[in-house]
Amino acid sequence: MTDKTAMIRTTESIHHFDRGNGVVTRLFCNEEICGAQVTTGTTSLPVGKSVAMHHHNCDEQIVILAGRAEAEFQGQRRPIGPMEVAYIPKGEVHCFHNVGDEPVVMLFIYDAGEVTRTFEATGETVVHLAAGDRAQPKG
Q: Three-state SS across the chain?
A: CCCCCCCCCCHHHCCEEECCCCCEEEEEECHHHHCCCCEEEEEEECCCCECCCEEECCCEEEEEEECCEEEEECCEEEEECCCCEEEECCCCCEEEEECCCCCEEEEEEECCCCCEEEECCCCCEEECCCCCCCCCCCC
**Res. 2: pLDDT tops 80:** no
- Label residue 1 by pLDDT band (50, 70, 90): low
What is the CATH code of the structural domain delimited by 24-73+90-139? 2.60.120.10
- Domain assignments of the chain as residue spans, ordered by start: 24-73+90-139
- Mean pLDDT, residues 60-84 taken together: 98
- Mean pLDDT, residues 76-100 taken together: 98
